[in-house]
Amino acid sequence: MKLWGIVLPFVLVFNSVAAGNLKPRKPKNIILMIGDGTGLVHLYAAYTAKGGQLNIFDYAKAVGISITASLNDYITDSAAGATAFSTGQKTNNGIIGMGSDSTTLKTIAESAYENGMSTGVVVTCELPHATPASFYAHQPSRKKYKAIAADITQNPAATIMVGGGLPYFDTNALKKAGYCVSIGINAMQQNTGARQICFIDTLKEPLPAPSRGPALETGSMHAISKLSKNKKGFFLMIEGSQIDWGAHNNDSAHTIAEAIDFDNAAGEVLAWAKKDKNTLVVITADHECGGLTLHGYDAKNKRPVMHFSSGHHTAEPVPVYAFGPGAELFSGVYQNTAIYFKMMKLLNLQTDK
């Protein structure tokens, strides 16, 4: 009888899924990985350059398509794109964590924190840059780097931040807010502070891959080891920030190096999530960049022949790859804002809408 009590819930869960009554198993933690400007083709270029393998493709259990348009433009920028993921609202290009009327919108990181979870970001751009900023700052313009850095400093929601942009921050204010500040990848690994801000280097903008070293994968695993101590769970955003920059410059080598760097980090994160069993990993992009197409194989450089049709973002919808409990919710074609609502539902967090 005792055994039956243990077995029965499993039988019921199995039956409800088998009967098509899809009630997804809910994860304790969510890791959202954003490849800035990274369409399917950017990742396929990395897959080709890696000799026909990509961790993201290997692990993906469900794949969806995200429509990326912003509120005021057919083609989004990274501020409106990240605000869609962080708040579930379409806003105008250039706006960080606010509606088009400048009302402050609560972010998923802030909701998670209010519910006792831990949160953080790991990026390869400056921390006040549009994508990470949209999770912890609220400003009408992405260009207000100092104001965004001050917002990030004052926001209690983050436990750990890894990225660049040290010159934009007031380190005394960071220390006052309880942050242990470290500079460099080695120093980050020694940082044992209760709250941490780990700068990759002292530059405004971190170096491109591979020159900056394994900052993204080391930073991601450092953040996970810290955040996973919270029994109530965590929300972590990891960004391959510079894939977009390589594509803006129509620089094939840089685009591929950054996409491989992102996939290396994804490989570590996904292997950890597979072991953990309670973590959903969602990997997507805020938009495509460069209108990239592949025209053949360049045997000399061991990479595809890449043609960029634009030096800007494009309207092309982007893939969403999901792995872990609740992954099946990410199949289908939907607006970028739906990613926020799916994550909030899976974490049992209350939305305003």
Residues that bind Zn ion (CB under 5 A): 244
CB of 79 to Zn ion, least distance (A): 10
Sign for the pseudo-dihedral over CA of 71, 74, 79, 85: positive
Q: Is 36 in the site for Mg ion (CB under 5 A)?
A: yes
The 241-280 contact track toward Mg ion, x by CB under 5 A, reads: x---------------------------------------
- Could you say which of Zn ion, Mg ion, none residue 241 binds, taking C-beta under 5 to 8 angstroms by partner kind? Mg ion
Q: Find the radius of gyration of the CA atoms of the chain.
A: 20
CB of 243 to Mg ion, least distance (A): 9
C-alpha distances out from residue 24 to 95, 132, 282, Å = 33, 28, 15
- Could you say which of Zn ion, Mg ion, none residue 131 binds, taking C-beta under 5 to 8 angstroms by partner kind? Mg ion
Residues 6 or more apart in contact with residue 264 via CB below 8 angstroms:
55, 214, 216, 217
Using CB positions, name the residue nearest to Zn ion. 244
Q: What are phi and psi of 320, to 5 degrees?
A: -125, 125
State which residue, 55 or 241, has the beta carbon closest to Mg ion: 241
CB of 328 to Zn ion, least distance (A): 31
Q: Which of residues 111, 131, 139, 336 is near Mg ion by CB under 5 A? A: 131
Q: Count the site residues for Mg ion by CB under 5 A.
A: 4
CB of 193 to Zn ion, least distance (A): 32
CB of 246 to Zn ion, least distance (A): 10
Q: Is 288 in the site for Mg ion (CB under 5 A)?
A: no
State which residue, 251 or 298, has the beta carbon closest to Zn ion: 251
Rounded to 10 degrees, what is the CA torsion of 67, 69, 74, 77?
A: -130
CB of 247 to Zn ion, least distance (A): 7
State which residue, 340 or 349, has the beta carbon closest to Mg ion: 340
CB of 241 to Mg ion, least distance (A): 5
C-alpha 260/C-alpha 44 separation (Å) is 10
CB of 61 to Mg ion, least distance (A): 26
Amino acid at 348: N
CB of 348 to Mg ion, least distance (A): 28
State which residue, 90 or 195, has the beta carbon closest to Zn ion: 90
State which residue, 82 or 329, has the beta carbon closest to Mg ion: 82
Using CB positions, name the residue nearest to Mg ion. 131
C-alpha 318/C-alpha 297 separation (Å) is 23
Q: In what order do the strands lie in the sheet with 179-183?
A: 179-183, 195-199, 158-164, 118-126, 234-240, 29-35, 279-284, 318-323, 62-67, 332-335
C-alpha 143/C-alpha 80 separation (Å) is 13
- E strand segments, the chain: 29-35, 62-67, 118-126, 158-164, 179-183, 195-199, 234-240, 279-284, 288-289, 292-298, 303-308, 313-314, 318-323, 332-335
Stretch that binds Mg ion, among 44-52, 123-131, 159-167, 200-208 (CB under 5 A): 123-131
Neighbours of 175 (CB within 10 A): 14
Residue 34 token pair: 């954003």
State which residue, 123 or 347, has the beta carbon closest to Mg ion: 123
Stretch that binds Mg ion, among 15-23, 125-133, 218-226, 310-318 (CB under 5 A): 125-133
DSSP assignment letter at 9:
H
State which residue, 217 or 244, has the beta carbon closest to Zn ion: 244
Residue 133 token pair: 């900023």
Q: Is 77 in the site for Mg ion (CB under 5 A)?
A: no
- Could you say which of Zn ion, Mg ion, none residue 66 binds, taking C-beta under 5 to 8 angstroms by partner kind? none
CB-CB contact of 152 with 146 (8 Å):
no
Residues that bind Mg ion (CB under 5 A): 36, 78, 131, 241
